[in-house]
Amino acid sequence: MYVRIDETGEQHAIPGVDPTDFVVGGERPTVSGLHDAIALHADRRSAVQFSGAEIEQGRALDEQVHLLSQPKEDPRQNVCVDFALRYDCWFRPLATAFGLGPKWTTIRVDDDTLHVRYGWAFRLHVPLKDIKSARLITQRTMARGVHTTGEYWYVNGSRDGIVELKLAHPATSKSVKFQAGTGGEVRRLYISLEDPDGFITAMKSHPTD
């Protein structure tokens, strides 16, 4: 048998277990309020005869209180995936000598942003919702490093594994403006990747505008 406390402090015996029955003045209980109700009931247990079913109900209530007291996890918390830029074997030491090697390169996908860093030469942060499409291209550019044809930008260390990203809105950064002028923008971005398929999957797993 369980008790419910009304706004006057009077106790009412009720059957069954429902945490919403432990109310004061019609308000839904807090976790601390449920604990207080359980404690009050325990103080009077010597005057109450418990059936087997009521004991099981008490255990169920304890479990519900425990679950209510647990913090809710955010499934999107600390979601972060890094991808490696692809380098041709002969180009890697040359890129490293110029500060563009793997140690200074970052291609990172977090909850809502793609972060691209290619040493000192290129940095760009693109909201994932602004990426319209991502696809592996078969065309093989001759150049390596950071180069642009206006609004199309290549960030690559290899001619292979290049993924094309089309942006819904132009993106820019200090490094883009430094290389292309104050009006420099990125509308398409081409990146050479060790795992282009995994990168494309990561892009497509986020909704776009």
Render pLDDT for 137-183 as a digit per residue (tens, 0 to 9). Answer: 988 888 899 999 888 999 999 999 999 999 999 999 999 998 888 78
Report the CATH number that the domain containing residue 149 is assigned in CATH.
2.30.29
Residues 99 and 186 placed together within one structural domain of the fold: yes
| Token pair of 29 as six digits | 């209980």
Alpha-carbon distances, residue 78 vs 75, 106, 111 (angstroms): 9, 17, 8
Better-predicted residue by pLDDT, 185 or 79: 185
Residue 180 in contact with residue 106, Cβ under 8 Å? Answer: no
The chain-wide mean pLDDT, for the chain, equals 78
Boundary (domain end) residue, out of 48, 69, 90: 69
The number of distinct structural domains making up the chain is 2
Full domain range(s) for residue 17: 2-69
Angle between helices 52-69 and 31-43 (to 10 degrees): 150
pTM of the shown model: 0.62
Token pair for 84: 């490696």
- Per-residue confidence band for 48, with pLDDT thresholds at 50, 70 and 90: very low
181: left (phi over 0), alpha (psi -120 to 50) or beta: left
Picking from 28, 50, 69, the residue at the C-terminal end of a domain is 69
Cβ atoms 109, 83 nearer than 8 A:
yes
User: Do both 98 and 189 map to the same domain?
Assistant: yes
Is residue 209 in some structural domain?
no
The SS3 call for residue 68 is helix
Q: Do the domain assignments include residue 74?
A: no
Percent of the chain at pLDDT > 90 equals 51
